[in-house]
Every structure is written in structure tokens, then in C-alpha cells.
Amino acid sequence: MTVAVPGTLRRDARPPIEMDAAPAPGAATARPTVLPRPWIAALLFDRDAPGHAPADPAVRRFWTAVIGPGAVADLLRLIAAAHGQRRLREPIHLALLAAEGLVVRDGDLVLVRPRIPFLTDRHRRRLRPNLRAEYRRIAAG
């Protein structure tokens, strides 16, 4: 049997493990290089623009296929913050949302539409053929 001294590695264990106890929850400190994401303010603009309501199932079905679930969640969070006039931490996918034309960023201010735009031709080409046909049926009806 091997006796381990705190702070040493047990090399005979597979895989080698540290013998110190894990820190208590909430006691762990972040690396000194970690910077918190800055706070931003989201404001509504272009209120009369056509598009899907944020709760519309088409948003999750089609926009998720185009930009991904994390970006869609960030977009919905921005819309909710703009409606509630709340500040929030900068979303991870903000650059992607800006590149797709879903938001406009100006410093710590993010402009977001209350309705999510319909897919453009460029976005529809990125869908799988069955989703593209389904979107075409929804847009026509």
C-alpha cells in the first residue's frame, strides 16, 4: 500500500492523481489572466421591420441551423434585455450576430431589432435541402 503526502502526485495511480483535497465550492479563484466580459446595453431599433417574433418556432428551427444554438440564445437574450431595458454581459457570439446583420454594435451599446429578420437568400443556401424546402413552404404560406 502506498501512503501519499499532501501536495504530491501518486505516480503508481492510473492516471496519476493529485492528493490534495479539492477546494471548497466558491473558494476557487480564477486565473489572473481571466477578464470578465464587459457590460453592454441593448436598445431596440428598426421597430417596424418585418420578421419572426422571438417566440416563433421558426427562429429556433431555421436560424439555429444557420448560425448555431448559442448565437440564437444570445440573440434572444439581447432582445429580452432590450425590452426590459437591462444591461447584460457581452454575449460570446456578438461578433457573429453583427456579421450576420442581426445586431449593430457601437462601443458598449448594441442595437437589436424586436423581430428577427426572415432568412435572406444567402442564409437559405446554407440550410440543408429539406430545411430549405420547409422554409420555402412557410415563407409562401
Residue 20 lies in a domain: no
pLDDT of the residue at 28: 60
**Tens-place pLDDT, residues 28-68:** 666 777 788 999 999 999 999 999 999 999 999 999 999 99
Q: DSSP for 73-114?
A: HHHHHHHHHHHHT-EEEPPTTHHHHHHTTSEEEETTEEEE-S
**If residue 18 lies in a helix (H) or strand (E), which one and from where to where?**
strand 17-18
Provide the number of structural domains found in the chain: 1
pLDDT of the residue at 93: 97
CA distance linking residue 65 with residue 130, whole number of Å: 12
Residue 28 lies in a domain: no
Residue 51 lies in a domain: yes
Quick one: cell of 78? Answer: 439581447
What is the domain extent for residue 79?
A: 39-140
Residue 116 lies in a domain: yes
pTM: 0.75
* Cα dihedral 100, 119, 44, 57 in deg (nearest 10): -120
Residue 104 lies in a domain: yes
The mean pLDDT of 74-100, rounded to a whole number, is 96
Residue 70 lies in a domain: yes
Residue 106 lies in a domain: yes
Residue 2 lies in a domain: no
Quick one: cell of 57? Answer: 418556432
pLDDT of the residue at 34: 79
Q: Is the dihedral of CA 52, 56, 61, 64 positive or negative?
A: positive
